[in-house]
């Protein structure tokens, strides 16, 4: 692929290099200086290619969004013709309506900002509820929401053939079903969650026989880990001999991993959408194929 350059950022450089290797294009890294008052100064490597791919996930998103805005404007000023954002974890997608008067609809606001800044956006397993297409949140011809479920299913088929999959809430059903199919048609069920606050959650388990089974909890995002922990504990109490967690995006905020361990979770696995010790599935190949499709368009 000619005249294409990937620009990465420090905390996500390994994944950016992996994408560059999958595409056989150069990788360089943006230089960022943080002033004592918290403002950022950004410098891109020059000269720039005509087609720039910025590769960065948006966990801990606020300062990263500012840096991406600076980087995109700088690239335009230096004659870049096309800007693609590859952001395997895309933040601000959960708030898709105003639940109370005066609430900002962050999905629409951030989506519009990204559409104004980039020519294409590629992400993985975006947290979409009331819309079916990423382009409804990011109004671009190339707003691509990939899925890691096939890779996750293949991973489970190798690691735990014959396991039972469990989604911790109704929102996880689409991921659990797709992963179960990709793993060879494994048994699966979905729990029902009642949320009264960020950490005040109750779970009603599905009518399944967990006795003597390996159970893998599957979801798109693990943040506080509270929902997964409750589901794992109840699966253990129902007779599961092992409990593991597999998620696309492992945020694991605060003491999330400790809570999972205390709940009886044996192993925690995630894709490399967010850098974490639990990363076991690489997304570079999946992302590279999407970039190639855009390049052909």
Return d(Cα 289, Cα 270) in angstroms, integer: 21
Q: Would you place residue 127 in the very low, low, confident or very high pLDDT band (cuts 50, 70, 90)?
A: confident
297 or 240, which is more confident: 240
pLDDT for residue 260: 96
Instruction: State the Rg of the chain over Cα.
Output: 20
pLDDT for residue 170: 84
The domains spanning 4-147+282-296 and 149-272 adopt the same CATH topology: yes
Q: pTM value?
A: 0.94
Q: Would you place residue 202 in the very low, low, confident or very high pLDDT band (cuts 50, 70, 90)?
A: confident
Residue 194 scores a pLDDT above 90: no
Q: What percentage of the chain carries pLDDT values higher than 70?
A: 96
Whether residue 245 contacts residue 217, with contact meaning beta carbons closer than 8 Å, is answered with yes
pLDDT for residue 172: 85
What's the CATH fold of domain 4-147+282-296? Rossmann fold (3.40.50)
Helix (H) or strand (E) holding 262: helix 256-262
Query: What are the contacts of 203-206 at 24+ separation with CB within 8 A?
Result: 203/168, 203/169, 203/227, 203/230, 203/231, 203/234, 205/231, 205/234, 205/235, 205/238, 206/166
pLDDT in tens, 134-193: 999 999 999 999 999 999 999 999 999 999 999 988 888 888 999 999 999 999 999 987
Q: Which of 171, 212, 206 has the alpha carbon at shortest distance from 189?
A: 206
pLDDT for residue 95: 86
Is the backbone peptide bond immediately before 121 cis, with ω within 30 degrees of 0? no
Residues listed for the chain: 297
Residue 83 scores a pLDDT above 70: yes
Give the Cβ contact number of residue 34 at 10 Å: 11
The domain segmentation of the chain, as residue ranges, is 4-147+282-296, 149-272
Q: Of 3.40.50.300, 3.40.50.2300, 3.40.630.30, 3.40.50.2020, which CATH number belongs to 149-272?
A: 3.40.50.2020
If you search the block for the tokens 């819309």, which residue do you land on?
A: 131
């Amino acid at each position: 692929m000619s005249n294409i350059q990937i620009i990465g950022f420090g905390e996500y450089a390994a994944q950016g290099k992996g994408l560059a290797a999958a595409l056989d294009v150069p990788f360089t890294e943006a230089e960022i200086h943080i002033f004592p008052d918290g403002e950022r100064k950004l410098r891109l490597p020059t000269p720039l290619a005509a087609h720039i791919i910025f590769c960065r996930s948006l966990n801990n998103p606020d300062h990263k969004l500012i840096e991406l805005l600076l980087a995109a404007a700088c690239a335009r000023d230096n004659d870049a013709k096309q800007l693609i954002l590859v952001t395997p974890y895309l933040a601000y997608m959960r708030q898709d309506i105003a639940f109370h008067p005066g609430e900002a609809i962050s999905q629409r606001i951030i989506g519009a900002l990204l559409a104004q800044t980039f020519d294409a956006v590629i992400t993985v397993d975006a947290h979409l509820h009331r819309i079916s297409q990423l382009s409804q949140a990011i109004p671009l011809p190339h707003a691509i929401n990939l899925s890691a479920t096939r890779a996750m299913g293949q991973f489970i088929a190798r690691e735990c053939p014959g396991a039972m999959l469990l989604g911790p809430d109704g929102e996880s059903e689409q991921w659990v079903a797709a992963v179960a199919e990709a793993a060879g048609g494994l048994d699966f069920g979905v729990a029902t969650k009642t949320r009264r606050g960020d950490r005040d959650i109750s779970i009603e388990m599905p009518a399944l026989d967990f006795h003597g089974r390996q159970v893998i909890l599957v979801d798109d995002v693990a943040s506080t880990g509270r929902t997964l922990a409750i589901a794992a504990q109840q699966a253990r109490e129902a007779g599961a001999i092992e409990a593991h967690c597999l998620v696309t995006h492992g945020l694991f905020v605060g003491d999330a991993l400790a809570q999972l361990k205390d709940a009886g979770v044996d192993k925690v696995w995630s894709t490399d959408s967010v850098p974490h010790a639990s990363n076991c599935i690489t997304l570079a190949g999946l992302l590279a194929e999407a970039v190639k499709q855009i390049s052909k368009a």
